[in-house]
Amino acid sequence: MSRDDDLVATTESGPVRGRVRSQESGARSIAFLGVPFAAAPVGELSFAAPQPAEAWTQVRDALHPGATPLRRRVDGTRIPEPAVPGDQTLNVNVFTPDVAGSAPVLVWIHGGGFVSGSPSSPWYDGRAFNRDGVVTVSVSYRLGCEGFGAVGSEAGPGPQVSNLGVLDQLAALQWVRRNIAAFGGDPRRVTIAGQSAGATGVLGLLSMPEAQSLFARAIAISPTLVDISLDVARERTRRVAEEGGVAPTVEGLRGLGPDRLLAAQDAIERGAKGLKVLRGALAGRIWGPVVDGEVVERGALAALRDGVGATKPLLIGAARDEVGTLADRLPEWTNRLPVSWLMRAVVKDSAARQGYLRANRRLVPEGGSILLAKFVTDAVFRRVVPAVADARIASEGAGTWVYGFGWRSPRNGWAHHCLDVPFWFDCLDDPAVTALAGQRPRQELADAMHGAAVSFIRGEDPAWPRWSEEARETRVFGANEIVEDHEGYYDGAMPLVAGLDESD
């Protein structure tokens, strides 16, 4: 096979040309960027389920990132998230060591709170996974109101459209199943993975019966549980339409166009100050998967408890201080007030409040801002991990392995949200990593975390015991490269686990 032949892969829609990149290790990575997995969601296809991409016959260049559902640059995000203009926003980036062969596959779902994020972040470049024999695919999906609104029709009161972002993720996985062999990947060995909102999407797919044939394993990095009720999604969609001056229907919202829709969406997502920051963080996502009884039949946790996804091995975990930096943004007076009063302001249930204070009493002397930031971290992220792991115990299925990320950045002293992503992808040389992890982030930590991910994607069990009723063990990736913390890592969040149910 010639070098030129190496650059071309033939998909069901037509041939695409990628670019060969050489690495210092001598390994090769071929990047195919912006390959459509569905038709452009514009015109009559906006606010509609994804449709097949239009076919082509000539070799199509896949040398530059495709258009993104993210319509603008997002300031202040920790992960570089390029916004690429254009209509063909439903596309994938494929990174492969060779278009021949049958390598395991990682499908990456980006985060961003269901309103931002980009599949084309340089942190999601799969070159390190390619070096280690893994094909990597990053996927796009519609965001915000278009991706997760519940939109009615002129014809009646019921929802005509909901969960388009979920349907996009399903369509991307179906595309991978049908096409990944052309890029040297094995469709029977697909691992879905994501971080933050992407990890929430992973748990949604793991708990969705229709998705089970599309992947073999799952990795959830800092997941939340977002099961928005249909009524809430309808009301938020109505408010966006009202802001835009149109009817809350498919026809009305299509008429807004992307820019006006985004402006209307922004208007209902105003920021807050003081303790309102806490309440906003605890209120959860504005947009996300909707329990509509059709695309998403019920909450993820309830489905997992009933054994959906039990045959899929799961690697799941969270950072020690997911929103620890919140403590640096809270007003100074939070440290002068009694922590019991502050907790009463954000936790109405007395038993939950007292239980949490008992489990985290060592933090009380550190002040209200530290304790409140820890509470938000636990309530939004960390309690999800043991809740999901416990939900899967009864199924006696393929197993759940729990990890924690405890390495604190020298930039701010926190093991915070997104800091772990470049370690998983082993991309510490990216310039944007310095802003989060300092001048010399620990390569041996990246070796350990990336190596654990590669082994799991290849089909191996992690090198620590699975989560069980007898031994709730956690592998903590931290300051000493790897620290085994037997059962204690998530203890502080355990009093909040009971508050998670299928209605959350």
* 360: CATH: 3.40.50.1820
Q: Is residue 112 part of a domain?
A: yes
CA distances from 48 to 160, 161, 252 (A): 9, 7, 13
Q: Are residues 120 and 263 in the same domain?
A: yes
- Note whether residue 504 is domain-resident: no
Q: What is the pLDDT along the chain (504 residues), one digit of tens a residue?
A: 344 445 899 999 999 999 999 877 778 999 999 999 999 999 999 999 999 999 999 999 999 999 999 887 766 678 999 999 999 999 999 999 999 999 999 999 999 999 999 999 999 999 999 999 999 999 999 999 999 999 976 555 555 799 999 999 999 999 999 999 999 999 999 999 999 999 999 999 999 999 999 999 999 999 999 889 999 999 999 999 999 999 999 999 999 988 899 999 988 876 544 555 555 556 667 899 999 999 999 999 999 999 999 999 999 999 999 999 888 888 888 888 888 888 888 887 888 888 999 999 998 888 889 999 999 999 999 999 999 999 999 877 899 999 999 999 999 999 999 999 999 999 999 999 999 999 889 999 999 999 999 999 999 999 999 999 888 889 999 865 555 555 688 999 998 888 776 443
Q: Tell me the three state secondary structure of residue 454.
A: helix
Residue of 110, 416, 417, 450 marked catalytic? 417
Tracing tokens 């063909």 back to the chain, one arrives at 88
Q: Which two tokens stand for residue 200?
A: 């929430």
Catalytic residue among 196, 207, 369, 409: 196
Under DSSP, the state recorded for 222 is: S
Looking at the structure of the chain, the number of domains it has is 2
Do 292 and 403 reside in the same domain of the chain? Answer: no
Comparing CA positions, the residue from 120, 138, 117 lying closest to residue 129 is 138
Residue 328 and residue 261 share a domain? no
Distance CA 59, CA 53 (A): 15
Closest CA to 476 of 408, 411, 402, 424: 402
Q: Determine, yes or no, domain membership for 470.
A: yes
Half-sphere CA count of 420, side-chain side, radius 13 A: 30
The SS3 call for residue 165 is helix
Are 471 and 487 found together in one domain? yes
The helix/strand/coil state of 418 is: coil
Using an 8 Å Cβ cutoff, are 487 and 386 in contact? no
Helical segments of 19-101, H only = none
Report residue 424: phi and psi, to 5°: -60, -40
Rounded to whole angstroms, how far apart are CA atoms 337 and 333? 7
Question: Do residues 217 and 93 share a domain?
Answer: yes
Q: Which residues pair with 35 in a beta bridge?
A: 92
For tokens 């993820």, the residue is: 300
Q: Is 243 a catalytic residue?
A: no
Q: What is the C-alpha separation between 360 and 349, in angstroms, rounded?
A: 17
Report helix angle 368-377 to 339-346, nearest 10. Answer: 30
Q: Are residues 331 and 357 in the same domain?
A: yes
Are 125 and 8 members of one domain?
yes
What's the CA gap between 371 and 335, in Å, rounded? 10
- C-alpha Rg value of the chain to the nearest Å: 22
Catalytic residue among 322, 369, 450, 473: 322
Tell me what pLDDT residue 278 has.
57
Inside any domain, residue 280: no
Identify whether the C-beta of residue 461 lies closer than 8 Å to the C-beta of residue 318.
no
Q: What stretches of 336-490 show up as alpha helix (H) in DSSP?
A: 339-346, 350-359, 368-377, 384-393, 421-424, 433-437, 443-457
Q: Label residues 414-423 b or e (16+ Cβ within 10 Å = b).
A: bbbbbbbbbb
Model confidence, pTM: 0.94
Name beta bridge partners: 218. Answer: 192, 314
**Are residues 290 and 339 part of one domain?**
no
Same domain (yes/no): 397, 463: yes
| Burial bucket for residue 265 (CB in 10 Å: 0-12, 13-18, 19+) | buried
Residues 305 and 322 grouped into a single domain:
no
* Runs of H (alpha helix) within 226-383: 230-244, 250-254, 257-267, 275-283, 300-305, 326-329, 339-346, 350-359, 368-377
Same domain, 142 and 184: yes
What pLDDT score does 157 carry? 56
Question: Does the residue 76 lie in any domain?
Answer: yes
E strand or H helix at 170: helix 164-179
Residues 301 and 370 in one domain: no
Nearest to 83 by CA among 224, 262, 241: 262
Active-site residue 196, yes or no?
yes
CA distances, 40 to each of 66, 87, 116, 147, 443 (Å): 11, 6, 19, 14, 40
C-alpha span between 359 and 347 (Å, rounded): 15
The residues with which 401 forms a beta bridge, in sequence order, are 315
Host domain of residue 9: 3-274+285-311
Q: Is 416 a catalytic residue?
A: no
Distance CA 453, CA 128 (A): 11
Provide φ and ψ at 350, rounded to 5°. -65, -45
Between strands 15-17 and 19-22, the pairing is unpaired
